[in-house]
Amino acid sequence: MMKANAIKWSWFMNLIIFFLHCSNGIAVESERVPALFVFGDSLVDVGNNNYLSSIAKANYFPYGVDFAKFGPTGRFSNGKTFVDILGEILGVPYPPAFADPNTAGPVILGGVNYASAAAGILDETGQHYGQRYSLSQQVLNFETTLNQIRTLMSGTNLTEYLGKSIAVLVFGSNDYINNYLMPSVYSSSFYYSPPDFANLLVNHYTRQLLALYNLGLRKFLLPGIGPLGCIPNQRASAPPDRCVDYVNQILGTFNEGLRSLVDQLNKHPGAMFVYGNTYGSVGDILNNPGTYGFSVVDKGCCGIGRNQGQITCLPWVVPCSNRNTYVFWDAFHPTEAVNAILALRAFNGSQRDCYPINVQQMTLIY
């Protein structure tokens, strides 16, 4: 017990040190990282879907209940997302939503967020939710931003700026829970075995990553997919106290393929692609919740039905009061407390967390 408490205390002291470091505005990485460009799904969406005809939105209370000064913004969390916290550590301002009309002019020089809830690597993923920016559309949206940036700086400066900036891409979850695992809506599981579907995703992902590289970006963080079989939405259909093993098992080929991909992509001149072991990090939290201060791992803080996961967080539903003890905020997404752990592991974790280097090491590469 004393050892577990010591580990827990050490972990939270590290978090406190990092957030004091960020709040004082002395994150030295800010000079090394001029901008953060974020691509992905609802795990990192900051409000793009607010401007789209979509039912996948989080611009209402209690989303943002712990996001001081901001409240509900379109983030699918009780507070900050993983990239919000990573940006704080790096000393980079929150990248604004691409779809926001105010995202124009000098503000875009600090980066832009293109992430869209329900988006996937495949264009058709999540279409039952309505409009969303798929991966391919997000790359096109980045090109739009890049054309605007070209009017704000010279060619030489632009090359250096893009080379120092970091792109974060969080994709893949929806291609499973809102495509492959929905045979009543999507036909992908009829045509592809789990390994073949994973390879299809990696191949599509590769093409878009190379497109971003060819546009000038050089530093990439690519988190893998977490243990989706353990989210409340999936647990709601599983035996009590069990994750859905089949769902977790079929993710292995994708995560392994993405990790192998970074080795291939890092052969390109000046490139540094980093794989984030989301599955391992979240799995560690789920297997050892007490070490990180969590006591509820199997249900959402805000939701309806079994495991508070059959229906996700609805407007003005009263969430749990002890949110820092919950791993999951709603039926699909982690709490801010988990996002903080994932951001810290991405920043200074070991090779088990980030391969081949972590984000802090990536900032030192010129």
Active-site amino acid positions = 42, 330, 333
Of 273, 144, 278, 122, residue with least CA distance to 205: 122
Cα 193 from chain centre: 26
Q: What stretch of H or E contains 274?
A: strand 272-276
How far is Cα 296 from Cα 322, in angstroms, rounded to an integer? Answer: 10
Q: Are 74 and 80 a contacting pair, CB within 8 Å? A: no
Phi, psi of 221 (to 5 degrees): -110, 125
Rounded to 10°, the helix 82-90/2-23 angle is 60
Q: Residue for token digits 């791993």?
A: 327
Cα(47)–Cα(94) distance, integer angstroms:
12
**Among 111, 83, 73, which Cα is nearest to 223's?**
83
Give the Cα separation of 235 and 309 in Å (integer). Answer: 8
